[in-house]
Structure 1
């Protein structure tokens, strides 16, 4: 395992890995979006310390909790709605366009990979997406503008689906909500068949998502972890870089 905090040293090591990638996978967490103005979720001052999400069962069971969930989601809009892709997002989109990445698995719900040019068919969103909503019963999609208009017109009452009267919820996965089976299957297939697995900006503590770098390593992939802080899997990795994601990817691609 190689570790390094110096940007030049780290960039050179990362550039060597990137140059040899042919069927690699990127796995991204909240750290890739912090330079975009989106605080992470778990650290002091993170989004959950100010807007703790409503769990799935409470959302399902209580109209009051559904209304509170939407109040909290709209409170996050200044942070989430105005964000634009950062250097890390753009770097991965470029690697994908060059054919060096076969896909991106993300824990993020901010939609910034799509905004950077990553097509939906090459992206696996393990925890869903908070930039739109769906009906929990029939699956119909609704844009946030429609939800907010209904919410405000109904005097802060959470809207129901016009098609089936089911509850309308942000498409992000809540605590207690089943993980999306299709996304998990796609992520497993990508992880088990890659030559390099890049874990970027993730603390690797949220399961089952944290199992994918382990799966990739066990299948013979080179495991690279790029994160500001250490993770529980650093000893398993072939290369660990504790540095700013945008800085190190920008320098590595410049080489």
Structure 2
């Protein structure tokens, strides 16, 4: 496939008309208009320090204290975020039959809040917390209420918000932050039910996402640099199967050589134009696919 950077919006409309069952793969860029920061710049480099790894979280009690202290301050932004225009446009495209499903690398559940029905949360859900010993699942807001009771001095702190409900708290003694035990088994480590860096996507979830891609006629990447392999693998799989790939993302991505079309344009504007163009084509009596 030869990539066509800077392609026209009509080219994307035409591609979807020829391949009307899209699998959409989204990343942090689709949620930035909802006030949630992203991780990488237009070169695909980290904007800030990489997030905590799974291994560091599981091995270090102080690391977990740091994580939950920052989360108690920062997660309110993620919890209170509303879907943006891009989320609603993707839901509308699904409702009109153009989208087979959405694979999202985000953990904010904004696609579901916007009305998308067929969504694979590739990296899990930030609104749930799992005990790593007994697998108990609890709502995150319930745990945060308990954390606030245990750590009242931390509740009113103000800090710059980082991606995925983190907050920048520096030069703070996290060793004073109290962590609760699992309410069921009493000793398991409580961890957000998300895939941290260094961890693996569960096999059943990966299989569901791959099946969604295999049932589709084209792949549309939206707001992701695909620098993490868990997302890049879908572009690689689509290319290997000869499935056309379009991308809407500003700057470099790991899959630039694989795209049929690439748009370094506003996600909101590009998706809105796509919806309008496809709706016009459906309404036109002489339209052909």
Short-chain TM bin: 0.7 to 0.9
> Is 1:128 aligned with 2:149?
no
Residues 242-251 or 156-165, more deviating: 156-165
Equivalent residue, structure 1, for 2:155: none
> Is 1:3 aligned with 2:30?
no
Equivalent residue, structure 2, for 1:72: 70
Paired residues, what number?
A: 247
Q: Where in structure 2 are the equivalents of 1:1-255 lying within 5 Å?
A: 1-4=3-6, 10-43=8-41, 49=48, 53-119=51-117, 122-155=118-151, 156-165=177-186, 166-255=188-277
Q: Shift of residue 88 of structure 1?
A: 1.6
Q: Encode CA deviations 1:139-162: one digit per residue, 9 max, x unaligned.
A: 222122211122233333222221
Q: Encode CA deviations 1:202-248: one digit per residue, 9 max, x unaligned.
A: 10111132111110122121110110113232232111111010011
Q: Encode CA deviations 1:94-116: one digit per residue, 9 max, x unaligned.
A: 12222221111111111111111
Q: 1:133–1:171: 8 Å Cα contact kept in structure 2?
A: yes
Q: Encode CA deviations 1:78-98: one digit per residue, 9 max, x unaligned.
A: 431232111221121112222
| TM-score for the superposition, normalised by structure 2 | 0.78
SS in 2 for 1:138: coil
For the residues of structure 2 that align with 1:118 and 1:181, how far apart are their CA atoms? 23
In structure 2, stretches of 5+ residues that fail to align are 152-176, 278-289
Cα RMSD, aligned residues only: 2.2
Residues 111/78 of structure 1: CA separation in 2 closer, same or farther (3 Å cut): same
Rg bigger for which structure?
2
In structure 1, stretches of 5+ residues that fail to align are none
SS in 2 for 1:70: helix
Q: Encode CA deviations 1:43-82: one digit per residue, 9 max, x unaligned.
A: 39x99727x5332223223333222111122232243123
Q: 2:23–2:100: 8 Å Cα contact kept in structure 1?
A: yes
